[in-house]
Chain A
Amino acid sequence: MQAISEQEREAQFQAKIDRGEIIEAKDWMPERYRKQLIRMMSQHAHSEVVGMLPEGNWITRAPSLRRKAVLLAKVQDEGGHGLYIYCGTETLGISREQMLDDLLSGKAKYSSIFNYPTLTWADIGAIGWLVDGAAIINQTALAKCSYGPYARAMVRICKEENFHHKQGYEILATLMRGTAEQKAMAQDAMNRWWWPSLMMFGPSDANSPNSDELMRWKVKRYSNDELRTRFVDRTVPQAENIGLKVPDADLKYNEQTRSYEFGEINWEEFFNVIKGNGICNKERLMARKKAHAEGAWVREAAEAYAKKKATKNAAA
């Protein structure tokens, strides 16, 4: 067998991607492809898990038993998504412990949206509708990405996200049918969550450093701005449908493009929250660190017991 050069290998890899073939864990891949996927997938998994905190904040205060049950089921789903994506990321040769360490040390990121606080019950509706809604747009695109384990995880997860999206919308629709106070609560949530939801698609295309490479590898299939516009087009009519105002004076429908034009995102706020200056950045990370530290003895006990049992079984 003749050794082929790294360059040839990369060319073959690119050709494979160009033919629309799916890359599997055992296949050769450029180190940079592996690194980028680890970054994206672990960040995605961390987002699912950290996202349990703002929603968990309202489990004990859900206003009806049915809402409590639905929220519990949703948060349980998100934990399951986290677990599933961690497993998918492990196929790239990184352990869950390492990923967790990277999260707790601040090296790995999670979606900035979860650094905003959930202040009222309407926020739970807004998260389901807007945040899960934005996640669906992102994840539907990722379901066609070139890395098989990630793509398959997205297909499975999207089904549940659709349910979350519907439930969140239903919470807001119910509030908008209610009293003046309830309507105000819903509109206030809309005002606070709209722009951060648009930010979930990442920096504008002109400012997105990783995009070209990821597009070439078909990890990304659409640009940030394309996906953001898709979200706005889908969401604005839903807002109008229940009487919610979109907090954007520049929003207008363009008959020609059959698409919405919207105002400039506050990128200063976006980069500030990423840098750690959101209201809840510190709390979220502290909550994760505390859970991890306080769970140390639990994990040690489980390990010690498993070892004892293995020794006993071997002796028997």
Chain B
Amino acid sequence: MSALKNLTAEYALRIGDTSLVLGQRLGEWCGHGPILEEDIALTNISLDLIGQARAFLTYAGELEGRGRTEDDLAFQRDERDFRNNLMVEQPNGDYAHTMLRQFFVSAFHYYFFSELCKSKDTTLAALAEKSLKEVTYHLRHSSEWIIRFGDGTPESNLRMLEAIDTLYRFTGDMFASNDIDNELLKAGIAVDMTVVYANWMKKVESVFAQATLTVPKDCFMITGGIKGIHSEHLGHLLSEMQVLPRSFPGVEW
């Protein structure tokens, strides 16, 4: 029972870290968006993701039972201890990169949370249900931009192709699983990533088709997030995010 609890803690950490890192990335856009409406949309999505991070990290801390809060987990861990996937830590790039990353992750989130709603862990199920409502909007918003860019101007199409080239290789890491997933799947707690992947791929193919874009075939997938093997980008993101709590240990904000 206690072993299962520890595995579930690790599982919640992955979910929380992924939302946290993407929320942090989107926060960098604030005030610099291409139009005011997008500035507002990005802060809105970032806010949802930070909310998810808080809920899943709090739960991870509770399960872990060492008294760590959402903030301890967010601000006092080093990059090797972060469990987010490699996609969300990728830099914002231009708006094509930001929206493609968002689309890949939101589609993943949508089908992942749809499955997690059925979890036997009632807390995870409840958090998934709340998150699902939020990511439904994220997915619609980002899908629309992918279609506009793909089928917009020659320049926007070219920028999409470049973004696909940069980001598609990290899509596999969103579905990466290991023994933890297998154990939790048997217990009815975790989701079956093969199901999530199949749904995700159908969605990507359909949106790409509308956008006159092609899904890459035989792309080598770079993985490592769940083992804490990240790209070099994460360390810089964390050093910025964690600067105050690290500089003033033990104080309240």
Binding site for B on A (CB under 8 A): 49, 52-53, 55-56, 59-69, 72-73, 75-76, 79-80, 82-83, 86, 121, 171, 174-175, 177-179, 181-182, 287, 290-291, 294-302, 304-305, 308
Contact = CB atoms under 8 A, between A and B. Distances in A.
Contacts of A121: 244, 253
B30 A294 contact: no
A79 B40 contact: yes
A282 to B, nearest CB: 15
Interface in B23-44: 23-24, 27-28, 30-40, 43-44
B71 interface: yes
Contact of B34 (A64, A65, A181, A291): A291
A56 B33 CA distance: 12
B22 to A, nearest CB: 13
B172 to A, nearest CB: 28
A56 B31 contact: yes
Interface in B123-156: 147-149, 151-153, 155-156
A20 B155 CA distance: 54
Interface residues of B, number: 49
B153 A300 contact: yes
Contact of A63 (B38, B94, B253): B253
Contact of B37 (A52, A56, A83): A83
A301 B155 contact: yes
A297 B145 CA distance: 12
Given A174-B252, A287-B32, 10 more contacts: A49-B36, A64-B71, A64-B245, A65-B50, A73-B43, A80-B40, A121-B253, A297-B159, A298-B149, A301-B153
B34 A299 contact: yes
A61 to B, nearest CB: 6
B54 interface: yes
A179 B251 contact: yes
A55 B245 CA distance: 19
A68 B31 contact: no
B193 interface: no
B209 to A, nearest CB: 15
Contacts of A65: 20, 50, 53-54, 57, 70-71, 74
Nearest to B44: A76
Max chain A C-beta neighbours (<10 A), residue from B44, B152, B156:
B152
B95 A83 contact: no
A79 to B, nearest CB: 4
Contacts, number: 138
Contacts of B38: 295, 298
Given A59-B30, A69-B51, A75-B30, A295 B37 contact: no
A233 B222 CA distance: 61
30 contacts: A52-B30, A55-B30, A56-B32, A59-B27, A59-B28, A60-B27, A64-B75, A68-B23, A69-B54, A72-B46, A72-B47, A73-B43, A75-B30, A75-B43, A79-B43, A83-B36, A83-B40, A174-B253, A287-B31, A295-B34, A295-B95, A297-B153, A297-B156, A298-B34, A298-B149, A301-B148, A301-B152, A301-B155, A301-B156, A304-B153
Given A75-B43, A298-B95, A60 B50 contact: no
B245 A63 contact: yes
A138 B36 CA distance: 24
Contacts of A177: 252
B3 interface: no
Contacts of A49: 31, 36
Given A61-B240, A72-B46, A294 B31 contact: no
B207 to A, nearest CB: 14
Max chain A C-beta neighbours (<10 A), residue from B147, B151, B153:
B153
Interface in B98-134: none
A66 B58 CA distance: 12
B234 to A, nearest CB: 14
